[in-house]
Amino acid sequence: MPRSSPYRAVSDATRRRILDLLRDLGPQRAGDIAARFPAVSRPAVSRHLRVLRLSGLVEEAQNGRERWYRLNPAPLRQMYQEWLRHYEAFWSERLRALKRVVEEDERRRRPRR
């Protein structure tokens, strides 16, 4: 099967939520994942899992009739190294600026004694 791009895989909000689920709860059965998305059909969840598997972001293991999925963070690390880390300085500066604004606002709101 042809590999899929991890960038394409994370471009979809449902797939990002599946990755979050696997990150937070650990390995999950396909049916349990689908149950977390009641507004999404099971075939659609299956297609999302396929895209994630082909991108290498999740790994699949079969145990009897059950398919288990677990997060594989290696492609995310690679995405960070290739692209996202270049934005880290921007994020850090924005967070520092936000902290300054919040602290200044708190100082102004304190009652004077």
10-residue averages of pLDDT along the chain (113 residues): 79 95 96 96 96 96 93 87 76 82 84 72
The amino acid at residue 35 is A
The amino acid at residue 104 is E
**CA atoms of 86 and 6, how far apart (whole Å):** 18
**CA atoms of 102 and 98, how far apart (whole Å):** 6
pLDDT of residue 2: 60
Q: How is 62-78 classified by DSSP, letter by letter?
A: EETTEEEEEE--HHHHH
Record the tokens describing residue 30, joined without a space: 């396909």
pLDDT of residue 1: 53
For residue 15, give the nearest of 44, 55, 50, 48 by alpha carbon. Answer: 48
pLDDT of residue 23: 95
Helices and strands (DSSP H and E) totals, the chain: 6, 3
pTM, to two decimals = 0.72
